[in-house]
Protein backbone atom coordinates (compact mmCIF):
# COMPACT_ATOMS: atom_id res chain seq x y z
CA UNK A 1 0.00 0.00 0.00
CA UNK A 2 1.20 3.53 -0.77
CA UNK A 3 0.97 6.37 1.67
CA UNK A 4 -2.14 8.52 1.31
CA UNK A 5 -1.41 12.01 0.02
CA UNK A 6 -4.05 14.64 0.64
CA UNK A 7 -4.17 16.45 -2.69
CA UNK A 8 -4.87 20.18 -2.80
CA UNK A 9 -6.57 21.92 -5.70
CA UNK A 10 -4.36 24.29 -7.70
CA UNK A 11 -5.67 27.85 -7.45
CA UNK A 12 -5.80 30.01 -10.55
CA UNK A 13 -4.49 27.24 -12.83
CA UNK A 14 -6.71 25.61 -15.45
CA UNK A 15 -6.18 21.86 -15.63
CA UNK A 16 -8.21 19.80 -18.08
CA UNK A 17 -10.11 17.06 -16.25
CA UNK A 18 -9.75 14.15 -18.65
CA UNK A 19 -10.08 11.21 -16.26
CA UNK A 20 -12.43 9.57 -13.80
CA UNK A 21 -11.63 6.92 -11.22
CA UNK A 22 -14.24 4.18 -10.87
CA UNK A 23 -14.27 2.09 -7.71
CA UNK A 24 -16.16 -1.21 -7.47
CA UNK A 25 -16.53 -1.74 -3.74
CA UNK A 26 -17.24 -5.37 -2.85
CA UNK A 27 -17.36 -7.53 0.24
CA UNK A 28 -14.00 -9.14 -0.57
CA UNK A 29 -12.22 -6.65 -2.84
CA UNK A 30 -11.95 -3.02 -3.87
CA UNK A 31 -11.32 -2.74 -7.61
CA UNK A 32 -10.32 0.73 -8.79
CA UNK A 33 -9.77 1.80 -12.38
CA UNK A 34 -8.67 4.95 -14.14
CA UNK A 35 -10.67 5.75 -17.29
CA UNK A 36 -9.81 8.45 -19.80
CA UNK A 37 -11.96 10.76 -21.95
CA UNK A 38 -11.92 8.13 -24.73
CA UNK A 39 -13.74 5.68 -22.41
CA UNK A 40 -10.64 3.48 -22.08
CA UNK A 41 -9.43 1.78 -18.91
CA UNK A 42 -5.89 3.03 -18.38
CA UNK A 43 -4.93 1.37 -15.09
CA UNK A 44 -6.39 -0.88 -12.41
CA UNK A 45 -5.65 -1.46 -8.74
CA UNK A 46 -7.18 -4.22 -6.63
CA UNK A 47 -7.00 -4.42 -2.82
CA UNK A 48 -8.75 -6.60 -0.26
CA UNK A 49 -11.81 -5.33 1.59
CA UNK A 50 -11.37 -5.85 5.33
CA UNK A 51 -14.96 -5.25 6.39
CA UNK A 52 -14.39 -6.42 9.95
CA UNK A 53 -12.35 -3.26 10.62
CA UNK A 54 -15.32 -0.94 10.10
CA UNK A 55 -16.48 1.82 7.75
CA UNK A 56 -13.62 4.23 8.47
CA UNK A 57 -11.04 1.61 7.52
CA UNK A 58 -12.93 0.89 4.27
CA UNK A 59 -12.80 4.62 3.46
CA UNK A 60 -9.06 4.65 4.15
CA UNK A 61 -8.58 1.59 1.90
CA UNK A 62 -10.50 3.27 -0.92
CA UNK A 63 -8.43 6.43 -0.49
CA UNK A 64 -5.22 4.41 -0.69
CA UNK A 65 -6.40 2.62 -3.82
CA UNK A 66 -7.39 5.91 -5.48
CA UNK A 67 -4.09 7.49 -4.51
CA UNK A 68 -2.23 4.46 -5.87
CA UNK A 69 -4.03 4.81 -9.22
CA UNK A 70 -3.10 8.50 -9.41
CA UNK A 71 0.56 7.84 -8.59
CA UNK A 72 0.76 4.80 -10.88
CA UNK A 73 -0.66 6.85 -13.76
CA UNK A 74 1.65 9.81 -13.10
CA UNK A 75 -1.31 12.17 -12.77
CA UNK A 76 -2.24 15.17 -10.66
CA UNK A 77 -5.48 14.89 -8.69
CA UNK A 78 -6.62 18.04 -10.52
CA UNK A 79 -6.83 16.03 -13.75
CA UNK A 80 -9.47 13.71 -12.26
CA UNK A 81 -13.05 14.75 -12.87
CA UNK A 82 -14.67 12.44 -10.30
CA UNK A 83 -14.29 9.42 -8.06
CA UNK A 84 -17.30 7.16 -8.76
CA UNK A 85 -18.14 4.34 -6.35
CA UNK A 86 -20.39 1.34 -6.85
CA UNK A 87 -21.62 0.08 -3.47
CA UNK A 88 -23.45 -3.22 -2.73
CA UNK A 89 -26.38 -1.77 -0.84
CA UNK A 90 -28.99 0.98 -0.65
CA UNK A 91 -27.40 4.25 -1.72
CA UNK A 92 -28.67 7.81 -2.04
CA UNK A 93 -26.58 9.18 -4.93
CA UNK A 94 -27.79 12.73 -4.34
CA UNK A 95 -26.31 12.87 -0.84
CA UNK A 96 -23.56 10.26 -1.16
CA UNK A 97 -25.16 8.33 1.68
CA UNK A 98 -25.04 4.58 2.23
CA UNK A 99 -28.27 3.66 4.02
CA UNK A 100 -27.51 -0.04 4.30
CA UNK A 101 -24.75 -2.24 2.86
CA UNK A 102 -25.06 -5.56 4.76
CA UNK A 103 -22.14 -7.24 2.97
CA UNK A 104 -19.87 -4.41 4.13
CA UNK A 105 -21.33 -4.05 7.61
CA UNK A 106 -22.04 -0.37 6.86
CA UNK A 107 -25.25 1.46 7.75
CA UNK A 108 -26.30 5.14 7.65
CA UNK A 109 -22.84 6.28 6.59
CA UNK A 110 -22.00 9.30 4.45
CA UNK A 111 -19.27 7.91 2.23
CA UNK A 112 -19.11 11.05 0.12
CA UNK A 113 -18.23 13.36 3.00
CA UNK A 114 -15.75 10.90 4.53
CA UNK A 115 -13.87 10.20 1.30
CA UNK A 116 -13.89 13.91 0.45
CA UNK A 117 -11.62 14.45 3.46
CA UNK A 118 -8.82 12.85 1.42
CA UNK A 119 -9.39 14.43 -2.00
CA UNK A 120 -10.75 17.66 -3.40
CA UNK A 121 -12.29 15.66 -6.21
CA UNK A 122 -16.08 15.23 -6.55
CA UNK A 123 -17.17 11.90 -5.03
CA UNK A 124 -20.21 10.15 -6.52
CA UNK A 125 -21.96 7.04 -5.19
CA UNK A 126 -24.39 4.56 -6.69
CA UNK A 127 -25.65 1.06 -5.99
CA UNK A 128 -23.24 -1.44 -7.59
CA UNK A 129 -25.76 -3.02 -9.98
CA UNK A 130 -27.21 0.38 -10.87
CA UNK A 131 -23.81 1.68 -11.87
CA UNK A 132 -23.16 -1.53 -13.82
CA UNK A 133 -26.49 -1.01 -15.62
CA UNK A 134 -25.43 2.52 -16.57
CA UNK A 135 -22.26 1.07 -18.09
CA UNK A 136 -24.19 -1.66 -19.93
CA UNK A 137 -26.80 0.78 -21.24
CA UNK A 138 -24.23 3.10 -22.79
CA UNK A 139 -21.33 0.84 -23.72
CA UNK A 140 -23.19 -2.30 -24.79
CA UNK A 141 -26.41 -0.82 -26.17
CA UNK A 142 -25.18 2.65 -27.18
CA UNK A 143 -28.09 4.06 -25.14
CA UNK A 144 -30.51 2.38 -27.58
CA UNK A 145 -32.49 0.48 -24.97
CA UNK A 146 -35.80 1.55 -23.51
CA UNK A 147 -36.99 -0.69 -20.66
CA UNK A 148 -34.25 -2.93 -19.29
CA UNK A 149 -33.67 -5.15 -16.28
CA UNK A 150 -30.05 -5.91 -15.34
CA UNK A 151 -29.54 -8.85 -12.96
CA UNK A 152 -26.21 -9.87 -11.41
CA UNK A 153 -25.97 -13.32 -9.84
CA UNK A 154 -22.97 -13.90 -7.60
CA UNK A 155 -22.53 -14.09 -3.84
CA UNK A 156 -25.99 -12.53 -3.74
CA UNK A 157 -28.46 -11.35 -6.39
CA UNK A 158 -28.95 -7.71 -7.29
CA UNK A 159 -30.77 -5.90 -10.07
CA UNK A 160 -31.22 -2.51 -11.69
CA UNK A 161 -34.09 -1.02 -13.66
CA UNK A 162 -34.00 1.25 -16.68
CA UNK A 163 -37.39 2.74 -17.57
CA UNK A 164 -37.88 4.82 -20.70
CA UNK A 165 -34.10 4.99 -21.10
CA UNK A 166 -33.46 6.35 -17.60
CA UNK A 167 -32.29 4.80 -14.34
CA UNK A 168 -35.18 4.10 -11.98
CA UNK A 169 -34.01 4.34 -8.37
CA UNK A 170 -37.36 4.24 -6.56
CA UNK A 171 -38.99 6.47 -3.94
CA UNK A 172 -36.36 5.63 -1.31
CA UNK A 173 -33.51 4.43 -3.58
CA UNK A 174 -34.42 0.77 -2.98
CA UNK A 175 -35.56 -0.18 -6.48
CA UNK A 176 -33.94 -3.27 -7.93
CA UNK A 177 -33.55 -5.30 -4.74
CA UNK A 178 -34.79 -8.38 -6.55
CA UNK A 179 -32.73 -10.75 -4.38
CA UNK A 180 -34.99 -10.06 -1.39
CA UNK A 181 -38.22 -10.96 -3.19
CA UNK A 182 -40.08 -13.82 -1.53
CA UNK A 183 -40.08 -17.00 -3.58
CA UNK A 184 -42.03 -20.19 -2.82
CA UNK A 185 -40.40 -23.51 -3.51
CA UNK A 186 -42.18 -26.85 -3.17
CA UNK A 187 -40.97 -30.23 -2.08
CA UNK A 188 -38.11 -29.28 0.22
CA UNK A 189 -39.72 -30.07 3.56
CA UNK A 190 -42.11 -32.99 3.32
CA UNK A 191 -43.85 -31.55 0.27
CA UNK A 192 -44.72 -28.29 2.05
CA UNK A 193 -44.04 -24.95 0.47
CA UNK A 194 -40.96 -23.25 1.85
CA UNK A 195 -40.95 -19.46 1.91
CA UNK A 196 -37.55 -18.11 1.02
CA UNK A 197 -36.00 -15.29 -0.99
CA UNK A 198 -34.73 -15.31 -4.55
CA UNK A 199 -31.18 -14.77 -3.26
CA UNK A 200 -31.29 -17.62 -0.75
CA UNK A 201 -32.43 -20.01 -3.48
CA UNK A 202 -30.46 -19.06 -6.59
CA UNK A 203 -27.29 -17.10 -5.74
CA UNK A 204 -23.88 -18.77 -5.81
CA UNK A 205 -24.04 -18.89 -2.02
CA UNK A 206 -27.37 -20.74 -2.23
CA UNK A 207 -26.09 -23.15 -4.88
CA UNK A 208 -22.98 -23.96 -2.85
CA UNK A 209 -24.98 -24.38 0.38
CA UNK A 210 -27.36 -26.80 -1.36
CA UNK A 211 -24.44 -28.83 -2.71
CA UNK A 212 -22.78 -28.98 0.72
CA UNK A 213 -26.01 -30.19 2.33
CA UNK A 214 -26.32 -32.99 -0.23
CA UNK A 215 -22.68 -34.01 0.27
CA UNK A 216 -23.28 -34.23 4.02
CA UNK A 217 -26.18 -36.57 3.28
CA UNK A 218 -23.77 -38.87 1.44
CA UNK A 219 -24.04 -37.64 -2.17
CA UNK A 220 -20.81 -37.79 -4.17
CA UNK A 221 -19.24 -34.80 -5.94
CA UNK A 222 -15.80 -33.96 -7.29
CA UNK A 223 -16.20 -30.62 -5.50
CA UNK A 224 -15.11 -32.41 -2.33
CA UNK A 225 -11.67 -32.85 -3.86
CA UNK A 226 -11.61 -29.55 -5.77
CA UNK A 227 -12.41 -27.49 -2.68
CA UNK A 228 -10.06 -29.32 -0.32
CA UNK A 229 -8.01 -26.78 1.62
CA UNK A 230 -9.88 -23.86 -0.03
CA UNK A 231 -11.91 -21.41 2.10
CA UNK A 232 -14.72 -21.07 -0.48
CA UNK A 233 -16.26 -22.87 -3.41
CA UNK A 234 -16.19 -20.32 -6.22
CA UNK A 235 -17.83 -20.18 -9.64
CA UNK A 236 -14.77 -21.55 -11.45
CA UNK A 237 -14.87 -24.70 -9.31
CA UNK A 238 -18.55 -25.13 -10.13
CA UNK A 239 -17.68 -24.76 -13.82
CA UNK A 240 -14.99 -27.45 -13.58
CA UNK A 241 -17.47 -29.82 -11.91
CA UNK A 242 -20.07 -28.99 -14.55
CA UNK A 243 -17.62 -29.67 -17.39
CA UNK A 244 -16.83 -33.03 -15.81
CA UNK A 245 -20.58 -33.79 -15.74
CA UNK A 246 -20.79 -33.92 -11.96
CA UNK A 247 -24.41 -34.97 -11.37
CA UNK A 248 -24.90 -33.17 -8.06
CA UNK A 249 -23.49 -29.84 -9.30
CA UNK A 250 -25.38 -30.10 -12.59
CA UNK A 251 -28.67 -30.66 -10.76
CA UNK A 252 -28.21 -27.77 -8.35
CA UNK A 253 -27.20 -25.39 -11.12
CA UNK A 254 -30.21 -26.46 -13.16
CA UNK A 255 -32.47 -25.83 -10.14
CA UNK A 256 -31.01 -22.33 -9.81
CA UNK A 257 -31.53 -21.69 -13.53
CA UNK A 258 -35.18 -22.77 -13.26
CA UNK A 259 -35.78 -20.41 -10.34
CA UNK A 260 -34.00 -17.50 -12.06
CA UNK A 261 -36.01 -17.99 -15.25
CA UNK A 262 -39.29 -18.17 -13.33
CA UNK A 263 -38.59 -15.03 -11.31
CA UNK A 264 -37.53 -13.07 -14.39
CA UNK A 265 -40.70 -14.23 -16.13
CA UNK A 266 -42.87 -12.93 -13.28
CA UNK A 267 -41.00 -9.61 -13.15
CA UNK A 268 -41.45 -9.19 -16.91
CA UNK A 269 -45.19 -9.85 -16.61
CA UNK A 270 -45.35 -7.04 -14.06
CA UNK A 271 -43.04 -4.49 -15.74
CA UNK A 272 -43.33 -5.30 -19.47
CA UNK A 273 -39.60 -4.78 -20.06
CA UNK A 274 -38.00 -5.43 -23.45
CA UNK A 275 -34.44 -6.34 -22.44
CA UNK A 276 -32.93 -8.49 -19.68
CA UNK A 277 -29.15 -8.48 -19.20
CA UNK A 278 -27.62 -11.06 -16.86
CA UNK A 279 -24.16 -10.86 -15.31
CA UNK A 280 -22.25 -11.70 -12.15
CA UNK A 281 -19.71 -14.41 -11.37
CA UNK A 282 -22.10 -17.35 -11.79
CA UNK A 283 -23.12 -16.37 -15.33
CA UNK A 284 -19.69 -15.15 -16.30
CA UNK A 285 -18.40 -18.66 -15.59
CA UNK A 286 -21.39 -20.79 -16.62
CA UNK A 287 -23.64 -18.56 -18.70
CA UNK A 288 -23.41 -20.80 -21.76
CA UNK A 289 -25.00 -23.65 -19.80
CA UNK A 290 -27.39 -21.64 -17.61
CA UNK A 291 -28.84 -19.18 -20.13
CA UNK A 292 -30.88 -21.81 -22.09
CA UNK A 293 -32.33 -23.10 -18.79
CA UNK A 294 -33.23 -19.54 -17.76
CA UNK A 295 -34.82 -18.76 -21.13
CA UNK A 296 -36.85 -21.96 -21.13
CA UNK A 297 -38.34 -21.32 -17.69
CA UNK A 298 -38.80 -17.64 -18.45
CA UNK A 299 -41.02 -18.67 -21.38
CA UNK A 300 -42.99 -21.06 -19.16
CA UNK A 301 -43.66 -18.35 -16.55
CA UNK A 302 -44.17 -15.05 -18.37
CA UNK A 303 -47.54 -14.16 -19.91
CA UNK A 304 -47.42 -14.38 -23.73
CA UNK A 305 -47.98 -10.70 -24.55
CA UNK A 306 -45.29 -9.11 -22.31
CA UNK A 307 -43.02 -12.11 -22.91
CA UNK A 308 -42.79 -12.01 -26.66
CA UNK A 309 -39.74 -10.36 -28.20
CA UNK A 310 -37.93 -9.92 -24.86
CA UNK A 311 -34.19 -9.93 -25.48
CA UNK A 312 -32.36 -11.96 -22.79
CA UNK A 313 -28.57 -11.74 -23.05
CA UNK A 314 -25.39 -12.06 -21.03
CA UNK A 315 -23.41 -8.89 -20.40
CA UNK A 316 -20.28 -8.58 -22.50
CA UNK A 317 -18.62 -6.14 -20.10
CA UNK A 318 -18.57 -8.55 -17.15
CA UNK A 319 -16.75 -7.14 -14.11
CA UNK A 320 -15.91 -4.01 -16.11
CA UNK A 321 -19.57 -2.92 -16.31
CA UNK A 322 -19.52 -0.89 -13.05
CA UNK A 323 -16.16 0.63 -14.03
CA UNK A 324 -17.58 1.97 -17.29
CA UNK A 325 -20.75 2.94 -15.43
CA UNK A 326 -18.67 5.46 -13.52
CA UNK A 327 -18.33 7.46 -16.73
CA UNK A 328 -22.12 7.59 -17.11
CA UNK A 329 -22.61 8.50 -13.45
CA UNK A 330 -20.16 11.43 -13.77
CA UNK A 331 -21.97 12.53 -16.91
CA UNK A 332 -25.36 12.43 -15.12
CA UNK A 333 -24.32 14.32 -12.01
CA UNK A 334 -21.53 16.63 -13.17
CA UNK A 335 -22.15 17.55 -16.82
Domain CATH for 289:
3.30.420.40
pLDDT reported for residue 29: 85
pLDDT reported for residue 232: 85
Q: How many residues would you count in the chain?
A: 335
Lowest mean pLDDT among 66-80, 226-240, 307-321: 226-240
pLDDT reported for residue 7: 44
| One domain for residues 156 and 297 | yes
The percentage of the chain sitting over the pLDDT mark of 90, rounded to a whole number, equals: 81
* pTM confidence score: 0.90
Cα–Cα distance list, 332 to 84, 92, 147 (Å): 12, 14, 18
| One domain for residues 113 and 62 | yes
Average pLDDT along the chain = 91
Residue pLDDT, tens place only, 257-275: 999 999 999 999 999 999 9
Sign for the CA dihedral angle at 68, 73, 78, 83 comes to negative
| One domain for residues 72 and 36 | yes
| One domain for residues 185 and 288 | yes
Residue 16 has pLDDT above 80, yes or no: no
- The answer to whether the CB of 128 falls within 8 A of the CB of 115 is no
| One domain for residues 136 and 285 | no
Report the C-alpha gap between 51 and 231 in whole angstroms.
17
Domain count, the chain: 2
Residue 117 lies in a domain: yes
Report the C-alpha gap between 267 and 130 in whole angstroms.
17
Instruction: Determine the structural domain holding residue 84 and report its residue range.
Output: 19-140+320-334
Lowest mean pLDDT among 39-48, 112-121, 178-187, 226-235: 178-187
Cα–Cα distance list, 299 to 27, 60, 332 (Å): 34, 47, 35
Query: What is the DSSP secondary-structure string of 277-312?
Result: EEESHHHHHHHHHHHHHHHHHHHHHS-HHHHTT-EE
Residue 12 lies in a domain: no
DSSP bridge pairs for 91: 98
pLDDT reported for residue 11: 40
Residue pLDDT, tens place only, 276-300: 999 999 999 999 999 999 999 999 9
Q: In what order do the strands lie in the sheet with 123-127?
A: 41-48, 29-36, 19-25, 80-87, 123-127
Report the C-alpha gap between 335 and 212 in whole angstroms.
50
pLDDT reported for residue 194: 59
Residue pLDDT, tens place only, 18-75: 999 999 998 778 999 999 999 999 999 998 888 889 999 999 999 999 999 999 999 9
Strands 106-110 and 80-87: unpaired
Long-range contacts from 219-222, C-beta under 8 angstroms, 24+ separation: 219/248, 220/248, 221/246, 221/247, 221/248, 221/249, 222/246, 222/249
pLDDT reported for residue 203: 95
Whole-angstrom distance between the N-terminal and C-terminal Cα of the chain? 33
Report the C-alpha gap between 128 and 98 in whole angstroms.
12
- How much is the average pLDDT of 124-147? 96
Sign for the CA dihedral angle at 39, 45, 46, 47 comes to negative
With residue 133 as reference, give the H or E element that holds it. helix 128-139
Amino acid sequence: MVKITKHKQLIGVFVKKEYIISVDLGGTKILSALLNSKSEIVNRVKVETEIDKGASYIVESIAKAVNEIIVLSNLKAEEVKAICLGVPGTVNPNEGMIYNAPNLGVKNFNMKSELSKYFQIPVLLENDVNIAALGIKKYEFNDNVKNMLVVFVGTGIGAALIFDGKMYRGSSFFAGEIGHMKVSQEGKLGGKKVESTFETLASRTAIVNSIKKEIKKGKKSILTKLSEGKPKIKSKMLLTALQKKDKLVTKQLENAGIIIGSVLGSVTTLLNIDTIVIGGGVFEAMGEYLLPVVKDNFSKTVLPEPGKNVNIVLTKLGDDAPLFGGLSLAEEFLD
